[in-house]
Structure 1
Amino acid sequence: MMIEFEYWWLLVLPLFFTLGWIAARVDIRQLLSESTTLPAAYFKGLNFLIGDQHDKAVEAFSEAVQANSDSLELHFALGSLFRRTGETDRAINMHVNLLEKKELTAPQRNAVKAELAQDYLKAGLFDRAEELFKGLEDQRYKQPALHALLEIYVREREWAQAISTATELERLSGVPFRVEIAQYYCELAMNFIIAQNSEAAHSQLALALDANKNCIRANVLLGEIEASTGQHQTAISYWKRIEFQQPEYLGLVAGKMLKSYRASNQLKEGLAQLNAYIETYKLPSLMSVLYEATLAEEGAENAAKLAR
């Protein structure tokens, strides 16, 4: 039997897609077939949502759920509203109660687990959220779950897990995560730097540059490691690479470069290098560093010439 399309659905579809997981979960044909039986409170809730009256929308959707307690879609819409209004405890309780229903099919149970995982994530209960996201069996949830897991690992500073998750997301979605992965390697390198393990830090920074050859942070850190051990020429060579990555960030290392040039008794060469950068890129951040260095080394008269 052909389902008659009702025009109010044009308003409802965009709403569902804004609620997060609906695109992976909602059976549109099932909802359309039930459209004539939806309680009036449901439409009241939609009107309140359109008017950004979330508290009243929660009340209306709660009434709709009570009137049609078998509709998972209504429960999910209400759960999403609970999350948006900060009532994650109510969302958690509702979805836990749904999971206790023995009559749920396997796909329905997966859908409820996906919602509950979102509740835990919103509530900051990352261990519980991670467990549920990892346990979602339906392939429709794979990419959204990986995105959520990546968010968890970044928040928890679990960088190795973040790298593997971002790599898997990249493989499945075709969307590059090279920039993010490089930053995660830099975070691992920072941990090794703090632990005074320069060799391990070097390895992580090399991986960062393999992931993203334009990772400025990696070259900044490599230079800092070398400078800290007195290898100033090597440090300078790392910092010079930034010119060929994104020269507008040379200001980040200009002061460091001059210190290493000074430590190598090559301050004049360092000042000349900064002058060359300024002539080429006209960066105010470089000018301020050069001015202060010239003022300290050559006096106010020579420093004043730079400002002309």
Structure 2
Amino acid sequence: MLLLIAAAVLGWLLARWGRGSKRASHFKFVSAEYFKGLNYLLNEQPDKALEVFIRVAEVDSDTVETHFALGSLFRRRGEVDRAIRIHQNLMARPNLNREHRAQALFELAQDYLRAGLLDRAESLLLELLDVPGYTESALRSLVSLYEQQKDWDQAIAMRRRLQTLSGAAQEETIAQYYCEMAQTALSAKDMPLARRLLKRAQSQDADCVRAHLLLAQIAENEQQWERSRQHYGRVLEREIRYATEVLPALARVTRQLDGQASLQAVTEKLRRNNPKASGYLAIAAIMDPELDDPVSRGCVADYLRSEPSLRGLYDMYAAFGQQQGVTPVHDLEPLQLAVRKLLINGPRYRCEECGFRSKTLYWQCPGCKTWNRTIPFHEIAFTAAGAAALT
């Protein structure tokens, strides 16, 4: 990173040298000072270098762009205090034009955000909302700021302004904000408020998986079995990839209504209406042994025999079974147990936006900070662990 900063300084010097200067003595002084600062940088003395660059900025109005580059590089390097000093120094210059002042204001706000000085960042960003060319960037930064503060009402307001300005849809994310508020209400055992907030979430995104899951859980806790089943079923109809999350709960609710036969009807309907359902139903049944209706058992058997990533494990099990006088076609339970161990030990969720993997379902990705892009994910890596699981 120091080399990047040094390159920025050298680029400025070469540009000035190339176009000449009517004030040779002035240029000589500035160049000498910049080389002094460059020497400090290369000798890993950034504080001394910073003092030199700020001193030069006070006597040379042509150094603005170079200082913006330096401030940005310091911030990206994690040296936020130095970035703040550079941008504050630029803001203090009386001859700074309107465009550069707005840029310095925005860069300083980014410094404050990076430093966790959210109140200071908010003040600058609100000022930038009325500055042409910076409104959208300021709105996006304010969204990030209010998300950090968990100020969901303000985040919603900024998202709506952003949608009006840019035309980019914001409803799915706003639905997540309402779900966040609903979870807070649930923690406070305020069920009426939680329901109202979840209805607002659904008004933004009718198929919001999270809202349906929370409403299903509320209904289940209140023993409203049919309503709970409807919400769980809606999730599976819209997004079968959540089968591992939903099917165990759906089975639990169904048993309170009319027993296993009803669960079989649900799984049969899912398999019939969705070509991809069999694999997800199989994984859900492997993860939860209580999902043992005939349809789920059939999906498990098909999956264990045909899934390409399990071919090595299945062949090993078949060979082992022949040695023991067991036909693997008729007894897949040991193989199912082995696959369950592999699934439990691996990541269970993946962000479709950045690929971040985890064992916890995050509605906002910790990696890229996008909402509603993390989905259940099941990767089976057949290694020696698979063989060990069979023994």
TM-score (norm 2): 0.59
User: Residue 83 of structure 2 is aligned with which of 91, 95, 107?
Assistant: 91
C-alpha deviation, 1:218, in angstroms: 0.9
2:226 corresponds in structure 1 to: 233
Counterpart contact for 2:126–2:138, Cα < 8 Å: yes
Report what 2:149 is aligned to.
156
Q: Could you tell me which amino acid in structure 1 is paired with residue 138 of structure 2?
A: A
- Distance (Å, rounded) in 1 between the aligned partners of 2:147 and 2:209: 20
Aligned residues of 1:163 and 1:184 also touching (Cα < 8 A) = yes
1:262–1:141: structure 2 CA closer, same or farther, 3 Å change rule?
A: same
**Structure 2 unaligned runs (5+)?**
1-6, 9-14, 22-26, 36-41, 302-328, 330-391
State the shift of 1:116 in Å: 0.9
1:103 aligns with 2:134: no
Q: Distance in 2 between matches of 1:291 and 1:197?
A: 34
Q: Distance in 2 between matches of 1:269 and 1:35?
A: 81
2: CA distance, partners of 1:152 / 1:162: 8
Offset of 1:94 from its aligned partner? 2.1
Contact 1:130/1:149 (<8 A) preserved = yes
Counterpart of 1:81 in structure 2 is 73
In the alignment, which residue of structure 2 is the partner of 1:294? 292
The answer for the alignment partner of 2:361 in structure 1 is: none
Contact 2:185 2:193 in 1 (8 A): yes
| Equivalent of residue 159 in structure 2, options 162, 166, 175 | 166
Counterpart among 196, 199, 205 of residue 192 in structure 2: 199
**Residue 177 of structure 1: which of 170, 182, 196 is its match?**
170
Structure 2 counterpart of 1:127: 119
Partner of 1:209: 202
Aligned AA (1:285): I
Alpha-carbon deviation of 1:274?
Answer: 2.7
> Which of 199, 213, 216 is the matching residue for 1:220?
213
CA contact (8 A) 1:226 1:234 kept: yes
C-alpha distance in 2 between matches for 1:273 and 1:162: 39
Find the structure with the greater CA-based Rg: 2
Q: Which moved more, 1:265-274 or 1:215-224?
A: 265-274
**Alignment partner of 1:114 out of 98, 106, 112:** 106
Structure 1: stretches of 5+ with no match in the other structure: 1-14, 17-31, 45-52
Aligned partner of residue 290 in structure 2, secondary structure = helix
Aligned-pair CA distance for 1:288: 2.5
Deviation at 1:188, TM superposition (A): 1.1
Letter in structure 2 aligned against 1:139: P
**Percent of matched pairs sharing the same residue:** 30
Kindly provide the CA deviation profile for residues 205-249 of structure 1, in whole angstroms up to 9, marking residues without a partner as x.
122122122211111111111111110110001111123322222
Q: Distance in 2 between matches of 1:265 and 1:228?
A: 18
State how 1:270-285 maps to structure 2 within 5 Å.
270-278=263-271, 280=274, 281-282=277-278, 283=280, 284-285=282-283
Supply the distance in 2 between the matched residues of 1:156 and 1:210 (Cα, whole angstroms): 24
Query: 2:179 matched to 1:186?
Result: yes
Q: Give RMSD over aligned pairs.
A: 3.7
**One-letter amino acid of the counterpart of residue 134, structure 1:** L
Q: Indicate conservation of the 8 Å contact 2:50/2:82, yes or no.
A: no
Count the aligned residue pairs: 268
Normalised to the residue count of structure 1, the TM-score between the two structures is: 0.73
Distance 1:247 1:303 in 2: 17
Q: Distance in 2 between matches of 1:259 and 1:194?
A: 23
* Residue correspondence of structure 1 range 16-95 to structure 2 within 5 A: 36=19, 67=56, 69=58, 70=61, 71-95=63-87
Note the C-alpha offset of 1:104: 3.2
| Alpha-carbon distance change, 56 to 274 in structure 1, aligned in 2, over 3 angstroms | farther
Once the two structures are TM-superposed, the CA of residue 56 in structure 1 deviates from its matched residue by 10
Aligned counterparts of 1:179 and 1:40: Cα–Cα separation in 2? 53
**Contact 2:146–2:155 (Cα < 8 Å) also in 1:** yes
1:98 aligned partner, one-letter code: L
